[in-house]
Amino acid sequence: MITFQHIDSPVGQLLLASADDGLRVIEFEAPWHPVKRGADWHEGDNGVLLETRKQLGEYFAGTRQQFDLPLAPHGTPFQLQVWRTLMQIGWGETWSYAQMARHIGQPTATRAVGAANGRNPLPIVLPCHRVIGSDGSLTGFGGGLPTKEFLLTLEGVLPRRVPIDDLFAPA
């Protein structure tokens, strides 16, 4: 059985889902690859979802840099290898898709690494937002490029942009 719930976050509403083996899904409002929900899905709460909400709140507040959750993503052996590698990219760091491919010992698999990142069922926790183009560009992200930019700004990778109105606001 899979328990799910929707939560609000600074990047919009997120769908969280877990099963007995751990957290299965974090999904953005308009996902590229929506998760298929079956008859075994029911809305509710459990300890994994409670802890996920807590840790995501700490992350968005800037007080948590690593997650400590039971994870249970489902994918192919290659996808699982790529997703495990994502956990090695630290807060405030970025890797290119080519770096990831070299790291897993498959230097010609850059596109396959990109495809696996695109299917990451646990974005933010498995930080695929930290993977960028070889030229430093922000490339595809299931939550949209504005969300990727927000997350990288939160982590200090990108400079904060101050709206011009804020510069002239009374103190």
Catalytic annotation, residues: 128
DSSP 101-139: HHHTT-TT-HHHHHHHHHT-SSTTTS-GGGEE-TTS---
To the nearest 5 percent, what fractions of the chain are helix, strand and coil? 35, 15, 50
Instruction: Name the token pair of 139.
Output: 């490339």
CA pair distance 12, 25, nearest whole angstrom: 15
69 exposure class (CB count in 10 Å sphere: 0-12, 13-18, 19+): middle
Contact criterion met (CB below 8 Å) for 82 and 117: yes
68 exposure class (CB count in 10 Å sphere: 0-12, 13-18, 19+): exposed
Give the chain's radius of gyration (CA, Å).
17
